[in-house]
Amino acid sequence: MPLLCVDIGNTHVHVALEHEGGFVLPHKIPTALLDDSDRGLRAYVATLPHAPEALAFCSVVPAATPRLHAVAADLGLSAWQLTYKADLGLPITYPTPAEIGQDRLAHAIGASTLYPGRPVIVIGLGTAVTFVLVTPEGGYEGGILAPGPALVTRYLHERTAQLPLVTDLTTPITSVVGKSTVDAIRIGAVIGFAGLIQALLDAVLAEFAARKLPPAEIILAGGAVQVVEGRLRQPVRLIPDLVLRGLAAAWRLNMPANR
């Protein structure tokens, strides 16, 4: 059945309709406008070629959850939320599962669905950076959290008197010699950010190797993948919609309980 998948993030809501094994009209909505009548989720659903028959969502913004439920009710849909208490299709060996962000749960499910029985490292690139570490024996073992590039540039602007807010992190950098303040900030955020990711990835791979695990699959996911794409030494697979894939897989696992 057509399933509306909704990922509520700190900055944006990522949404798409899963239908017949694929995703239709992926879209992002500013989180502040989730329930806006003209630009929010209701308006998006009105553009879909198929009416959704169910809704699955995850959220890292607790205050947005009741707003999502209200919109779902207006659409005549019951909203199923992914939590650590659901059937995830893999074990959780993280000591405090209630602390795990729902987007990270979806990443783990999506990764284990794509690569069953393999170690997987999912690097989620958004407002925050999340490393999700999945192994055959441990399932969801844990991860790493770090600030995303947009947080870095915003912090520089907010905590200094003269540095401007730089939002363009996608224009290619042709030289690491900044010729303006904006250039210097962009170089630090983009080149330096890739270095941060590489250092964290190297440390994870070294620990996996010391445990004699098979070579890990590495996935880049999230809205800021272009900042890191092509800048890491290891081969990676880009799956920007991994959260939505994991949501759909989790919903199918738990569907009998939702009816």
Residue 38 one-letter amino acid: D
Q: Cα–Cα distance between 180 and 183 in angstroms, integer? A: 5
Nearest to 248 by CA among 29, 24, 67: 24
| pLDDT at site 171 | 87
Name the phi and psi angles at 28, rounded to 5.
-130, 145
The burial class, CB within 10 Å (0-12 / 13-18 / 19+), for 142 is: middle
Pick from 73-77, 151-155, 189-193 the range whose average pLDDT is largest: 73-77
Domains of the chain listed by start with CATH number: 3-81 (3.30.420.40), 107-241 (3.30.420.40)
Mind giving me the DSSP string for 67-134?
Answer: HHHHHHHHTT-PEEE--TTS--SS-B-SS-GGGS-HHHHHHHHHHHHHSTTS-EEEEEESSEEEEEEE
What tens digit of pLDDT does each residue of 28-82 get?
999 999 999 999 999 999 999 999 999 999 999 999 999 999 999 999 999 999 9
| Number of residues in the chain | 259
**Across-strand partners of 248?**
none
Count CB atoms within 10 A of the CB of residue 66. Answer: 10
What is the pLDDT at residue 127? 83
* Whole-number pLDDT of residue 256: 65
Q: Region 186-190: what's the mean pLDDT?
A: 91
Active-site residues, by number, are 103
Global pTM value = 0.90
For 91-128, write each residue's pLDDT tens digit: 999 999 999 999 999 999 999 999 999 999 999 998 88
CA distance 18 to 157: 39
Indicate the residue type of 40: G
- Categorize the per-residue pLDDT at 255 as very low, low, confident or very high, splitting at 50, 70 and 90: confident
Is 235 a residue whose pLDDT tops 90? yes
Query: Cα–Cα distance between 7 and 76 in angstroms, integer?
Result: 19
Provide the percentage of residues in the chain whose pLDDT is more than 90: 84
Task: Please answer whether residues 31 and 19 qualify as being in contact, where contact means their C-beta atoms are separated by less than 8 angstroms.
Answer: no
Percent of the chain beyond pLDDT 70? 98
> In the chain, which ranges are continuous DSSP H helix?
41-46, 65-74, 102-114, 149-158, 181-210, 242-258
